[in-house]
């Protein structure tokens, strides 16, 4: 589905440079089609992304619909807008969360 495809693209985009500059682990609790727990690890050497809990404790946990997640990563929805609208929730250091936008 669209969520799995998005994570394939993310995995391909993860570079040592992103890992070095970000130093954060992002966990996504997605509802709807393709939902579940997904992660992007930009802290562990090499970085990774995929389905399930991250290999290390997440620094940022975001809850949103899978549709909003896909929109966010296809640049149809800004991260900040998603959370200000109240349709999504975030538990974290907001500055670290906004650093994810650089990757988007």
Q: From the centroid of its chain, how far is CA 53?
A: 12
Q: Which residues fall within 8 angstroms of residue 12, CB to CB, at 6 or more apart? A: none
pTM of the model: 0.81
Q: What is the pLDDT of residues 46-104, one digit of tens each?
A: 999 999 999 999 998 989 999 989 988 887 767 667 666 666 666 666 667 667 766 66
- H or E stretch including 100? helix 94-103
Amino acid 86: pLDDT: 65
Direct distance between the N- and C-terminal alpha carbons of the chain, in angstroms, rounded to an integer = 19
What's domain 2-99's architecture?
2-Layer Sandwich (3.30)
- Bridge partners (DSSP) of residue 29 are 37, 63
- Where is pLDDT greater, at 53 or 18? 53
pLDDT, tens digit, 9 for 90 and up, residues 25-45: 999 999 999 999 999 999 999
């Amino acid at each position: 589905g669209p969520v799995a495809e998005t994570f394939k693209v993310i995995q391909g985009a993860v570079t040592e440079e992103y890992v070095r500059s970000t130093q954060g682990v992002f966990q996504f609790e997605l509802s709807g089609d393709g939902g579940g727990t997904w992660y992007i690890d930009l802290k562990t050497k090499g970085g990774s992304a995929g389905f399930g809990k991250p290999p290390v404790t997440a620094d940022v946990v975001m809850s949103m619909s899978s549709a909003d997640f896909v929109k966010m990563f296809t640049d149809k929805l800004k991260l900040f807008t998603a959370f200000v609208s109240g349709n999504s929730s975030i538990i974290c250091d907001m500055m670290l969360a906004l650093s994810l936008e650089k990757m988007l």
